[in-house]
Structure 1
Amino acid sequence: MTAIDGLPPLRAVIAAHGLSARKSLGQNFLLDLNLTAKIARQAGDLTGCDVLEIGPGPGGLTRGLLSEGARRVVAVEKDSRCIPALQEIAAAYPDRLEIVEGDALAVDTAALLTQPVRIAANLPYNVGTELLVRWLTPPEWPPFWQSLTLMFQREVAERIVAQPGSKAYGRLAVLSQWRTTARIAMALPAEAFTPPPKVTSAVVHLEALPEPRYPADPATLSRVVAAAFNQRRKMLRAALKGLAPDIEDHLNAAGIKPTERAEQVSLEAFCALARTFTD
């Protein structure tokens, strides 16, 4: 698929603009437009939606999102070298692509978008987890977005969907599954990228729930979960003793054995424990 939109193949775009992926920016370019269109389809029905894309690079996924019918794409790109390539895409899709040059961690992206909003991105590896945590922990819920369709290293993707009892289960799983329904939508081999990373990648799709799965104060839950998994090899009565001198009473009230370790505790039980600090 080299002409989904009459624009040149991505390899030609990269050659024309002298774009080489920069490790310092966490860049790995996905050049197969069949794959970028497939990723765009994982985001669901994009017609009538604004889509936020972080780190579009030369615009492979951008083109997929637009060709799949996104009403409008707001693409935030830190690398000024990529802007001319993105401007060529904007010219091919009049009034449907807004390019924002800047750092996604510093840009107020919600202000640039009109509801309904979906987020889809091949996230730069060096900021992907931080952006996900920000999107999962806004001041108010529901968030400004309906869904997240994000590419991560496979290891990070598995942490997002992990279940209690597994080594991958941790803070990211609790935060993700408390407020969303998360699944791994597809895997991508390293050789799909230029340059090939040393790890495989996976696309995770997260649908925002109208309300959190179980009641809990967000800040308290976050504090409890962070403390529990910061010392995941310790029993909870030891790992959480800094939260309260009577931590065993809190654990018992939540139905959690004080001798259990964090990876054994379900999302529902963590929420119950958080409530013992606020009820």
Structure 2
Amino acid sequence: MPHLQSPAALPPLRETIARHGLSASKALGQNFLLDEQLLDRIAALPGALRGRDVLEIGPGPGGLTRALLRAGAQVTAIERDARCLPALAELDLAFEGQLRVIEGDAMKIDPARLFTGPYAIVSNLPYNVGTALFTGWMGGEEWPPQWSSLTLMFQQEVAQRIVAAPSTSAYGRLSVLSQWRAEARIAMKVHRSAFTPPPKVMSAMVHILPAPAPAHVSMEVLARITQAAFGQRRKMLRQSLRPVAGAIDALAKLGIDPVRRAETLSIDEFTQLARELS
């Protein structure tokens, strides 16, 4: 096959997938996006990308990668599926100097070691590791993080949990950990028919920006409180938080009624509790 010299020389994504004999792996949580207009819209969600460092997890055959490269981003893509590497190598030729592909497991790679400055994360996340990767990026005691924004594809149910407000059915631990020091919104809903193969559920792009963290609140303590509170969400706080040392006394000090349930507490109330116990 001749070397591709320009983005215009790239064949359609479907042709690339067929030529390399690629198919989405259920074991790797893959679902390919092929609609180039949709992919360009996704790549536009973080704002202007020209010259910016972008991390993509699980690029697969490179549909979103193409869109990010067209937008002018400097893309670092982590892919564990060796079958997809030849297709990504073609993009490296077409967008000379813009793409770095790392073969490996994103769960075992620290993004901070890949970049010297800020970077955006834009990804159609593999469904089987998406939530774990996300909570890892949102975790840690140092804030603001090195990443400047997260623009991520989730199953719609997970996306709704990330942005949920208190006293709603979707509100839970993921909502608190996502919103206590960041702004999260659903930026775009994506119909299941946009994917190959179509998943059984609808999807959504979530866009997250870091926000100032409340003072003197430990991420570790907040994680422990929310795990206990929402781990037994049907129980009153006086029962669900009993295993957390000092939590019942902190409720009394803050004037939070111990007969309330976790889903009725605001994010501010959770951070006040964490501050008392930090």
Q: CA deviation at 1:5?
A: 4.0
C-alpha RMSD of the superposition: 1.4
After TM superposition, what 4+ stretches of structure 1 lie above 6 angstroms from structure 2?
A: none
- Aligned pair 1:21/2:14, yes or no? no
Which of the numbers 12, 17, 25 marks the counterpart of 2:15?
12
- Cα distance per residue 1:96-124 (max 9 Å; x no partner): 10000000001122211242310000000
Counterpart amino acid of 1:223?
Answer: R
AA of the residue aligned to 1:28: N
SS at match of 1:276: helix
Superposition TM-score, scaled by structure 2 size: 0.95
Q: Distance in 1 between matches of 2:273 and 2:132?
A: 25
String of CA shifts for 1:208-258, please: whole Å, max 9, x gaps.
12x2146411111111111100000000000001113x6432112223110
Q: Match for 2:63: what amino acid?
A: G
Q: 8 Å contact 2:214–2:271 — kept in the other structure? A: no
The answer on 1:45 being equivalent to 2:48 is yes
Distance, in Å, in 2 between the alignment partners of 1:255 and 1:67 is 54
Counterpart CA distance in 2 for 1:269 and 1:5 is: 54
Aligned length: 273
What is the one-letter code of the residue matched to 1:257? D
How far apart in 1 are the matches of 2:107 and 2:219?
Answer: 21
Q: Which deviations, in whole Å up to 9, do the C-alpha atoms of 1:167-196 show, x marking residues without a partner?
A: 110111111101211000000111100000
Residues 110-155 of structure 1: CA distance to partner in whole angstroms, max 9, x if unpaired? Answer: 2112423100000000000000000001241111100000000000
Q: How does 1:153-232 map to 2 (within 5 A)?
A: 153-209=155-211, 211-213=212-214, 215-232=216-233
Counterpart residue type for residue 180 of structure 1: A
1:5/1:131 CA distance change after superposition, 3 Å: farther
Query: Which of 60, 73, 77 in structure 1 is aligned with 2:63?
Result: 60
What is residue 270 of structure 1 aligned with on the other side?
A: 270
Q: Per the alignment, in what secondary structure is the counterpart of residue 108 of structure 2?
A: coil
C-alpha distance in structure 2 between counterparts of 1:234 and 1:141, whole Å: 32
Matching residue's letter, 1:255 = G
Query: Which amino acid in structure 2 is aligned with residue 220 of structure 1?
Result: V
Q: Show the counterpart of 1:151.
A: 153
Q: Distance in 1 between matches of 2:142 and 2:165?
A: 26
Q: Contact conserved, 1:118 with 1:148, CA < 8 A, in 2? A: yes
**CA-to-partner distance for each residue in 1:48-69, whole Å, 9 max, x for gaps?**
3100000000001001111112
Report if aligned partners of 1:190, 1:197 keep a CA contact under 8 Å in 2: yes
Question: Is this contact kept in 2: 1:154–1:199, CA < 8 A?
Answer: yes
Give TM-score, length-normalised by structure 1. Answer: 0.95
Does structure 2 conserve the Cα–Cα contact (< 8 Å) formed by 1:55 and 1:76? yes
Give ranges in structure 2 of 5+ residues lacking alignment: 1-5
1:236 matched to which residue of 2? 237
The runs of 5 or more residues in structure 1 that have no matched partner are none
Of the structure 1 ranges 55-64 and 107-116, higher mean CA displacement relative to structure 2 is found in 107-116
Change (3 A) 1:250 1:139: closer
| Equivalent residues of 1:5, 1:67 under 8 A apart | no
Q: Distance in 2 between matches of 1:202 and 1:135?
A: 19
Flag the 1:24–1:75 CA change in 2: closer, same or farther, 3 A.
Answer: same
CA contact (8 A) 2:153 2:206 kept: yes
Asked whether the 8 Å contact 1:178–1:214 carries over to 2, the reply is no
1:257 aligns with 2:257: yes
Q: Following the alignment from structure 1 to structure 2, what is the Cα–Cα distance between the partners of residues 171 and 10? A: 38
Structure-1 residue corresponding to 2:3: none
- In 2, the alpha carbon distance for the partners of 1:129 and 1:157 equals 10
